[in-house]
Chain A
């Protein structure tokens, strides 16, 4: 496994991508940042979605921005000046995207330069990739040691994830690992939603996390306190598990699909087996 060690020394750079928008990429990045930090890691999260800044508001840091990634790239600020420390964790920093510019303001080489400067001071650098397969995605992909692909168990999201996987492999950053977000257990049980096994069969990609649909995620976004800080929520727990798997720990999956676990066991019970 490549989970141990980082070829260049210092931080491991993990890009969170999806292809399709709206699948929960930014939410996943924020929560993995929080989870990794709460497990004692030094973490930097970078919002690479230039022009559509969002990671700051999901993390509750929107009021503290002075400088952003484009300011750093264009030399108006030092990298340190653009790094916003999280309220709860001294070793968690956000580098926000610019809100008024577009993707062309940053190049893949700029991203590499920024991450190289951060590497020695951190354990993990997470990059929130914009949706799509154009420049913004290329920027986010360039410095990646590993790519996580977020998808929903839904036809268009899975199709776009497959497209992204092809591009990740072509860039020799692959194969990448999958986070299945917003899985609805009850629907899977009724056969009305793709299960995590289905998504695995279709994409043929290792799954690093399954995040159940959870109302706590919306409340968390509303309040700017990521759900990973709420260990009473299923989604928060699931994100924390993903973080531990990123660190190389072997964490069993929660039983969310309904199929393989308790229901089948109940069936056997009724069958007298």
Chain B
């Protein structure tokens, strides 16, 4: 019985499954015209902004592109953090536009 199962029951372990995964990845980027390297760059920038305010657990960060269909994509981010960044006020000083209300009220 188990021999039969191992002969016929084994599916989707071969290169077909690899092809499917690789295609999914490449098409996600083809469709939004954003190559993987640019995506990584964007993720790094997003995280750098968050890290100014929060102590981010970098090892557990997950930022992924999800696609329901050709027209709808979304960026799903899970960014675990352990608390407020102690040097928050110092970071503020490096962002002059954000530190005053002049930019918001012309």
Q: Which residues of A contact B (CB under 8 A)?
A: 154-155, 158-159, 162-163, 165-166, 169, 187-195, 198, 201-202, 204, 259, 263, 266-267, 270-271
Contact = CB atoms under 8 A, between A and B. Distances in A.
What 5 A-B pairs have minimum CB-CB distances, sorted nearest first?
A: A191-B14, A192-B14, A198-B20, A191-B16, A270-B4
Contact of B20 (A163, A201, A266): A201
Contacts of B24: 202
Contact of A158 (B1, B4, B13, B23): B23
Interface string B74-92: 0000000000000000000
Interface of B: 1, 4-5, 8-17, 19-20, 22-24, 26-27, 30-31, 69-70
A271 B8 CA distance: 12
Nearest to B9: A267
Given A159-B23, A193-B16, A270-B5, A165 B11 contact: no
Contacts of A189: 11
B11 A270 contact: no
Nearest to B12: A191
B34 to A, nearest CB: 14
Nearest to B10: A191
Given A202-B24, A204-B70, A267-B9, A162 B31 contact: yes
Chain B at the A interface: SS class: helix
Contacts of B13: 191
Contacts of B26: 159
A183 B84 CA distance: 56
Given A162-B30, A263-B8, A202 B23 contact: yes
Contacts of A271: 1, 5
Contact of A270 (B1, B12, B22): B1
Contacts of B9: 267
Nearest to B71: A169
A16 to B, nearest CB: 21
A159 B16 contact: no
Contact of B69 (A188, A204, A270): A204
A202 B69 CA distance: 9
A194 B20 contact: yes
Contacts of A270: 1, 4-5
A133 to B, nearest CB: 13
A202 B17 CA distance: 12
B16 A165 contact: no
A155 B11 contact: no
Given A162-B27, A162-B31, A169-B70, 19 more contacts: A163-B30, A166-B31, A187-B16, A188-B16, A189-B11, A191-B10, A191-B12, A192-B15, A192-B16, A193-B16, A193-B19, A195-B16, A202-B23, A202-B24, A263-B8, A267-B4, A270-B4, A270-B5, A271-B5
A266 B9 CA distance: 10
Contacts of A169: 70
A224 to B, nearest CB: 34
Given A159-B23, A166-B31, A202-B23, A191 B17 contact: yes
Contacts of B70: 165-166, 169, 204
A202 B30 CA distance: 13
